[in-house]
Homo-oligomer: A and B are copies of this chain.
Amino acid sequence: MYDGIVQDLIDEFGRLPGIGPKSAQRITFHILQTPNFDVSRLSELLHDVREKVRFCEVCGNVSEQERCAICRDPRRDQTLICVVEDAKDVAAIERTREFRGLYHVLGGSISPIAGIGPDDLRIAQLMQRLADGTVQEVILATNPNLEGEATATYLSRLLTSLQISVTRLASGLPVGGDLEYADEVTLGRAFEGRRSV
């Protein structure tokens, strides 16, 4: 629809997740029509992220060094590991400021449909971290969906042989939510996990 390069950039933005053709067009025109838009900064950051960012060799979180900022922080509780599927989940949990332990990023979840088995996840590295007996609790914070539950079940079975307490994040009604609009499964879980007040 457009002359060469403009359409090329629209197509390139359209390849990014969550950006449809209309958004891609809007972004491209924003870049074209905003005189002080800094294309150099954006393209330098793209290269920097690609060249300098790696994954922490201990926990698998994103990092600019061999070990990520959380693994390097001596104030974090070394006896507690929270297992998540993705590095994005680390950021989500960090935002709560509720958790002061360490993380372990699996790099996905067990999904027979997508052909992802336990060997495709960073499970061996997790077992290695647990081997020296420092860790006393493993919190399974995989997603509350089919794949996440399967992964949590698999891990909890694997960890029973160790002298480590294994916990799972609570399922229930979202705070600020409305009982009327909760789905049956979530409401069922909320009943199941009810606590005395």
Residues on A lying within 8 angstroms of B by beta carbon are 1-6, 8-9, 12, 16-19, 23, 25-32, 37, 39-50, 52-53, 62-65, 68-69, 86-88, 91, 94-95
Contacts and interface: CB of A to CB of B under 8 A. Distances in A.
B62 A32 contact: yes
A153 B155 CA distance: 69
Contact of A5 (B18, B19, B28, B53): B53
A30 B43 contact: no
Given A6-B62, A16-B27, A47 B39 contact: yes
A88 B29 contact: yes
B5 A91 contact: no
Copies of this chain, tallied across the complex: 2
Contact of A39 (B4, B50, B88): B50
A91 B2 contact: yes
A46 B30 CA distance: 12
Given A27-B18, A30-B16, A46 B53 contact: no
30 contacts: A1-B91, A1-B94, A2-B62, A3-B53, A3-B62, A3-B68, A5-B45, A5-B52, A8-B45, A9-B49, A12-B41, A12-B42, A16-B27, A16-B30, A16-B31, A17-B26, A17-B30, A19-B23, A19-B27, A25-B88, A26-B88, A29-B88, A31-B50, A32-B49, A32-B50, A32-B53, A39-B46, A40-B47, A42-B46, A43-B46
Contacts of A63: 3
Contacts of A27: 16-19
A23 B30 contact: no
Given A9-B45, A12-B45, 13 more contacts: A1-B95, A4-B64, A5-B52, A6-B49, A6-B53, A9-B49, A16-B27, A17-B26, A25-B88, A29-B86, A31-B46, A32-B49, A32-B53
